[in-house]
Amino acid sequence: MNALEQQVEEQIDAVELVARGVTNCARCGRTLTDPVSVKRGLGPVCYGLSGGGIFDGNMDVPDEEWARRERLIVAGGEVDFGVNWRYPVEGIGVGYTMRVSVRFHEGRFEAYGHVNRYGHPDGDDEVVFVRTTDLKEAYQAAIEAGPRYTAMAHRAQVQVARAAARRSKVQELFKTSKEVTDDVRSRVHGRRAL
C-alpha cells in the first residue's frame, strides 16, 4: 500500500469513527464519545481552553432577532466572531491568526475565516467553513470554527515542540556517544584523551 492509499484509508477510518459517534479531540487527542463533543471536535475542557463558549449565547435568541440578523447580513453586513483565533500551519510551532465571520455571498450565508498570513508572498487567505441557505447553520459553524481551529493550532504547536525536544535529545545522545567513541579510540591507540 503506498502512502496515498494509506492516507485515504486513514481518512475513511476516521469518517467511520465519526459516524459511529467516536472521534478524537482536536486539542488533546483524547477519544470523544459525547455527541456534542463529537460534533464540535473538542471535549468540554478543551473547548473552554480554546476560547469556546464566548459566542454560544448568540444562538439562543428569539425568531425576531434571527429575522433582523438575516435582513442586516443580506443587505451587506457581516457578523464577526472574533479576530484573534489561531489558525494552524503544519510543521511550524506558531500559526497565523484568523477573523471568523458570517456574511451573505452569492445567494448563501457563509461562515468563513480570514487568515492573516503576516506578509506571506501569496497574501492573506480565506477559509469557508460552511455555505448554506440557513443563517442559524452558518452562525453555529462560525461559533464552533474559532475554538476548533485554535485547538488544532495548539496541538500543532505542541507536536512541533515535542519533535524539537526529541531532536535535541538525539543530538545530545549523539554528542555523548561521539565523546565516548573518541575516548575509547584514544585508549585503544594508547593515547590519552586531552
Give residue-wise pLDDT tens across range 78-135: 999 988 898 887 656 567 889 999 999 999 999 999 998 877 777 788 999 999 999 9
d(CA 88, CA 135): 27
Does the structure show a pLDDT above 90 at 12? no
State the pLDDT at residue 94.
63
Q: Which three three-digit cell numbers place residue 160?
A: 512541533
- Cell 549523539 -> residue: 174
Q: Which three three-digit cell numbers place residue 56?
A: 454560544
Lowest mean pLDDT among 1-15, 31-45, 64-78, 123-137: 1-15
The DSSP code sequence of 116-166 is: E-TT-TT--EEEEEEEES-HHHHHHHHHHHHHHHHHHHHHHHHHHHHHHHH
Mean local confidence (pLDDT), 2-31: 68
- Provide, rounded to the nearest whole percent, the portion of the chain with pLDDT above 90: 43
Tell the burial category of 78 from Cβ atoms under 10 Å away from its Cβ (0-12, 13-18, 19+): middle
Round the average pLDDT of the chain to a whole number and report it.
Answer: 82
Give the start-to-end residue ranges of the domains of the chain.
1-49, 50-188
Mean local confidence (pLDDT), 144-168: 84
Full-model pTM: 0.71
Closest C-alpha among 149, 100, 88 to residue 126: 100
State the pLDDT at residue 161.
79
d(CA 159, CA 93): 8
Q: Which comes out higher in pLDDT, residue 91 or 35?
A: 35
Does the structure show a pLDDT above 60 at 16? no
d(CA 194, CA 191): 9
- Provide, rounded to the nearest whole percent, the portion of the chain with pLDDT above 70: 72
